[in-house]
A and B are shown apart, each in its own frame.
Chain A
Amino acid sequence: MAKVTIDGIEIEVPEGTTILQAARLIGPEVAPPAMCYHSKLKTSGGYCRTCLVEVTKGSEKDPRPMPKLVPSCRTTIMDGMEVGNKSSAKVVEARKGVVEFLLLNHPLDCPICDQAGECHLQDLSYENGTAKTRTDFERRTFNKIDIGSKIQLHMTRCILCYRCVKVADQITDKRIHGVLNRGEASEISTYIENVVENDFSGNVIDVCPVGALTDKTFRFKSRVWFTKPMQAHRDCDKCTGKVNLWFKGEEVLRVTGRKDQWGEVEEFICNTCRFDKKKTSDWTVEKPAPINHHSVISANHYEVFVKPTEFKLNVVKPLSIEEKAN
């Protein structure tokens, strides 16, 4: 076990934990935002630079601070490390810069984007960005392409987090989906608009933090905040069959994987569950799904339920009810 202090809060975590994981154990108030890191995908993270933190003390043995800001999702903790996240002016400034870079070519078409309301980029920019843009250049655009009959790729909105590339790489076979070109011209694509035919290809939609990959069976059906997510399951021979159903009235508008507190998929689901089982009778409905604390849906009835974890409760101030509502 190793002790690490993040924003003045001390926590003891196993060796090999990353700073981000340790911060998440303390709670959402301390956890740096992460756009490209996904706990279920190996080698994800390090690209978006939103989770940069300042290491003010390297470790007990070697107390020198790290010269540069480090990506918390890819930096493992050392015993005695001290990390500044929101308490570090350098980090706040750098994060503001990263948000600006991410929004530089983003179309900001939230009013017509299906992801609005559960978009990580929206949350990130509300919390860390500025209200004004400083660019007046034309934004980068791409044509929409269909990768398969059920998934649409709208590259214009993409922030190149590489999560879908990791999904294609790690949970689907015969990978034909990746990044073309380089630099600012990089685009996620399948080679020559090839169709991704795979039972698990639908998961690229769930891992996409923005509205770049969307479910064609759900597009423009409803704003997410008009739907009610319920946990449900079914017997599936390909996946665990544990999903969230998004109801509008009695109708199931879409099926997604269950996401944890950080908006990351808990278990990947197959395309049959996702695209073909859209009747309530296909499913055993369990209970209302817990919703990410960022989601606009949580403004109504749903609240985050955080399990007490093993960290030292005495050093973490429990949230009051007013704070939770915020």
Chain B
Amino acid sequence: MGRKILLKHIDEPGIQGYDTYRRTGGYASVEKAVKTMTPEAIVEEVKKSGLRGRGGAGFPTGMKWSFLAKPEGVSRYLVCNADESEPGTFKDRYLMEKIPHLLIEGMITSSFALGAHTSYIYIRGEYFYIVNILEKAIEEAYANGWLGKNILGSGYDLDLYVHVGAGAYICGEETALLESLEGKRGNPRIKPPFPAIKGLWECPTVVNNVETIAAVVPIVNDGGDAYAAVGIGRSTGTKLISASGHINKPGVYEIEMGITVEDFIYSDEYCGGILNGKKLKAVVAGGSSVPILPADLILKTANGENRLMSYESLSDGGFATGTMLGSGGFIVMDETTSIVQNLHTFARFYHHESCGQCSPCREGTAWMEKILHKVLHGHGTLADVDLLWEIQSKIEGNTICPLGDAAAWPVASAIRHFRLEFEEYVKNPASIKEVKHYYNTQLV
């Protein structure tokens, strides 16, 4: 069994409620933080832990925290990004649903470290039932003196609010999230200024993912070094992976960074192998935005080493032969999966979710979806495949926020690794009906 840090007490009956959570050592980090530590010391511990943002970008959290501007007389805010909308990712939902107090505890400790007196959890509209769970947990925390005025007699005040979004993918982008939180249309802002300088209501703000904030709890409890001892290289600690697709045991798994991808897919402890004994065709390793990799490249890197579940190993080889850990949405596809169809689904999603501010994303995502629809239904030409490649290259890097990149990468990688399949869709439209699928890479 791999070591568990966040989900250590997940099987404890009643862990959702305050009493059980407290009995299993809950809220110890708050006690330790406000009574024995200074905010700077906590930031230092987080830096030492090597914790990296779990929302997708993997930016070192301690560094992000230390960038927070601290002008005199201006409020600072901590916002938890619980707008988990990346297709294939559902780890935050699991965490908030099963152990809501872990997030609340992390919020209190992190807010103390950042000197925030008001903090928000921005949760997506589709998670309406979790809102109730969180509200109840916050109520219990208030009732037991963990929130409100003068927490544990330390003189530190904190109010925590849950804000429900309306269910837009774009509001998971931190500046769009802040706009939405301010009550405006959820459009990303143009950076700079970054939220650490001018965020919520023009005040310095830190936006962190649910899992990142939850990970602050063990870091404060056991120290940054203990957390850094888990994992491999610069990928420290554990990561929640949302495994879905053609596997025997889909679900949320807490893994130690650095186990092999092969182990994750085939071992009984995790995914338990491919469904119905079929062969593996491709994997999207970190949520729909990251490049898709064919079976041979996901298990081994281009130079023949074992691919590991870590930030570095998964991105080994750049986008030519690698991908990203992203948010940990691990989508496994077996040999019956049509890459073109899958890509069309992704493209349709990004078309629907583009906010429409900047031209490349607004027009490009729609265009790519239309072309893919055409190819999928047997009306495509070879020129269309080249055009798709051209369009994605014109979107990537030229947009305000990463949604443009997120829309472009899957298209680029699918054509890069599965071009023959696209060509087959174009050349033999009749064969599509027979549910025949084509590969230009080896199945494993």
Supposing A74-B190, A94-B394, A101-B394 touch, asked if A181 and B356 sit within 8 A by C-beta, the answer is: yes
Q: How far in angstroms is the closest Cβ of chain A from B194?
A: 13
Alpha-carbon gap, A137 to B379, bound state (A): 13
Of B203-211, B260-268, B310-318, B396-404, the one contacting chain A is B396-404
Assess the A71–B190 pair: CB atoms within 8 A. Answer: yes
Residue pairs across A and B with CB atoms within 8 Å: the count is 88
Q: Which of B3-11, B359-367, B433-441 contacts A (4 or more CB under 8 A)?
A: B359-367
A174 on the B face (CB < 8 A): no
- In angstroms, Cα B358 to Cα A159, docked, is 10
Separation in Å of the A106 CB from the closest CB of chain B? 10
| A65 part of interface (Cβ distance < 8 Å) | no
B397 touches A68 (CB 8 A): yes
Chain B residues in 8 Å Cβ range of A183: 351-356, 362, 365-366
Known A49-B360, A97-B394; judge A182-B400 contact (CB<8 A). Answer: no
Knowing A49-B398, A94-B398, A134-B387, say if A102 contacts B358 (CB, 8 Å): no
Q: Are A47 and B363 in contact (CB under 8 A)?
A: no
Q: How far is the CB of A124 from chain B (nearest CB, A)?
A: 11
B370: chain A residues at CB < 8 Å are 137
Residues 151-189 (chain A) with a chain B CB within 8 angstroms: 159-160, 162, 178-179, 181-186
Nearest chain A CB to B359's CB is how many angstroms away?
5
Q: From the candidates B352, B356, B360, B395, name the one contacting A160 in the complex (CB within 8 A).
A: B356
Q: Which one, B356, B360, B397, contacts A179 given CB within 8 A?
A: B356
Which residue of the partner chain A has the closest CB to B364? A101
| Shortest Cβ gap from B360 to chain A (Å) | 5
Query: Is the beta-carbon distance between B366 and A49 smaller than 8 angstroms?
Result: no
Contact residue among A48, A134, A137, A181 (Cβ-Cβ distance under 8 Å from B358):
A48
For chain B, which range describes its interface: under 10, 10 to 19, 20 to 34, or 35 or more residues?
20 to 34
Contact B357 A47 (CB under 8 A): yes
**Chain A residues closer than 8 Å to B357, beta-carbon distance:** 47, 160, 162
Interface residues on A, range: 35 or more
B185 interface hit (Cβ, 8 Å): yes
In whole angstroms, how far apart are the Cα atoms of A45 and B359 in the complex? 12
Contacts of B355 in A (CB 8 A): 182-183
Q: Does A17 contact B (CB under 8 A)?
A: no
Are B362 and A160 neighbours in the complex by a CB distance under 8 Å?
A: yes
Residues B367 and A104 in contact, CB atoms below 8 Å apart: yes
Most buried by A among B353, B354, B359, B387: B359
Contact B363–A184 (Cβ < 8 Å): yes
In the complex, the chain B residue whose C-beta lies closest to that of A186 is B356
Report the bound CA distance from A69 to B360 in whole Å: 13
Closest Cβ–Cβ distance, residue B346 to chain A (whole Å): 15
Q: Which of B332-372 contact A (CB under 8 A)?
A: 351-360, 362-367, 370
Mark contacts of A177-214 with chain B using CB atoms, 8 A cut-off: 1 yes-contact digit, 0 otherwise.
Answer: 01101111110000000000000000000000000000
Q: Which residue of B lies closest to A140 (CB)?
A: B366
Contacts of B398 in A (CB 8 A): 49, 52, 68-69, 94, 97-98
A74-B190, A94-B398, A137-B370 known; A49+B365 contact, CB < 8 A: no
Q: What A residues does B365 contact at CB under 8 A?
A: 183-184
Tell me if A105 counts as interface (CB < 8 A to partner B): yes
Tell me the chain A residues, 80-136 only, with Cβ under 8 Å from chain B.
Answer: 93-94, 96-98, 100-102, 104-105, 134-135
A241 within 8 A of B: no
A93 CA / B190 CA spacing, docked (Å)? 22
Residues on the B chain within 8 Å of A184, using CB? 351, 354, 356, 362-363, 365-366
Measured between beta carbons, the chain B residues less than 8 angstroms from A93 are: 394
The A-contacting residues of B in range 365-383, CB under 8 angstroms, are 365-367, 370
Tell me which residues across on chain A come within 8 A of B397, comparing CB atoms: 68-69
* B359 contacts A102, C-beta separation under 8 Å: yes
B400 CB to closest chain A CB (Å) equals 6
CB of B405, distance to nearest CB on chain A (Å): 9
User: In the complex, what residues of A have CB within 8 A of residue B358's CB?
Assistant: 46-49
Query: Which residues of chain A come closer than 8 Å to B393, judged between CB atoms?
Result: 97
B4: min CB distance to chain A, Å: 37
Show 14 A/B contacts (Cβ-Cβ < 8 Å), sorted by A.
A46-B190, A49-B360, A49-B399, A101-B359, A101-B367, A101-B394, A134-B387, A137-B367, A160-B362, A162-B357, A178-B185, A181-B356, A183-B366, A184-B356
Which B residues contact A (CB, under 8 angstroms)?
A: 168, 170, 185, 190, 351-360, 362-367, 370, 387, 393-395, 397-400
